[in-house]
Each structure stands twice: as C-alpha cells, then as structure tokens.
Amino acid sequence: MEKDIVIGISDMKLSQKPGRLVTYALGSCVGICIHDNKRKISGLSHILLPEANLAGDGKKPIEIMKYANTAIPELIKRMEQLGASRLNMKAKIVGGAQMFQSMNNSMTGQIGQRNVQAVKEALRKEKIAIIAEDTGANYGRTVFMDVETGTVSVKTAFGKVKDI
C-alpha cells in the first residue's frame, strides 16, 4: 500500500502517483479536493479562512494557502504545471462546520459557512465544477482522496465513513 500524503492546516499537496491525499480534523476549515480524471492528477487544499484582506494577507507563500481566494487559484496553477487540464478538473469540498453553537450570530460563529461560500465563489471564478460536497453541520471530518480515481472518503468525528 502506498503511503498517505498528509495535508496540514493552511497547506496543499498534489500527487499523480497511486495513493491517497489526507487531511485531518476539518472543523470550520474546508478541504478542497480537485481531480483531473484523464491525467490522474489530484490536489487537496485545507483552507482556514475565507479570504485574504486588503492589508497584504495572502501574498507570502505561507499565507497563500490559508485563504480560499488565494489557495484555490494556486492549487489549480500547480496542477496545471504537472500537466492537468482545467477542462478536466472537478472539485469536491468537505468541511465548513459550525463548531461552536453558542456563537451562532457572530461572524466568528459563521466562519464555516463563510469558508464554504468563499470556496464555492473561488471555484466558480476558476470555472471548476463542484460535483460533490459534504459541508456544514456541527462536527469535524477527515478526508481521504484517492489520487487515481478522485474518490473522496469522508470520516466524521463519530466514525461514520462515506464516499462522495
């Protein structure tokens, strides 16, 4: 069995070798899984926040991967550098939970929802279709992405596993 490639918070990785991309403990964060089925190239980004602000965030390499509006274009660019075609790319998104019920009405309490909205907007701008998602609710998730097939398995904090 191939070794899993682990993606941390505010991180992204790509692969075209058999195996899995994995990111753990998505709460309000969102995992963006993009796959080119013809070239068998996959990428996974684990974003923390919706968008870089105008104060210069999102320009340093470490910051680029933190935000939906900067990480997604970077992920797509890196996939294209490996030979993927934007025309063949499809996305699946996971996460965006509301982890703290007592913060319902604050901007902080809605960060999961805002992350999901920002991810959808960034993918729309890049013309990448979202073909599946498992977002919202109030529990954490771990994502396993098969590089060859693009199958995404989601394991909830309760141990339930489903493919999307």
Structure tokens at 162: 């489903």
> What band does 53 get if pLDDT is binned at 50, 70 and 90?
confident
Helices 111-125/68-81 angle, 10° precision: 40
The radius of gyration of the chain's CA atoms, rounded to the nearest angstrom, is: 15
Q: What is the CATH number of the domain that holds 21?
A: 3.30.1330.200
Model pLDDT for residues 77-121, shown as the tens digit of each residue: 999 999 999 999 999 999 999 987 654 555 556 999 999 999 999
The candidate with the shortest Cα–Cα distance to 135, out of 13, 21, 31, is 31
Predicted TM-score (pTM) of the model is 0.92
Q: What is the pLDDT of residue 107?
A: 54
Provide the domain count of the chain: 1
Structure tokens at 94: 């996971």
Q: Which run of H or of E encompasses 13?
A: strand 11-15
> What band does 52 get if pLDDT is binned at 50, 70 and 90?
confident
Structure tokens at 88: 């063949």
Structure tokens at 8: 């941390």
What is the span of the domain harbouring residue 45?
5-163
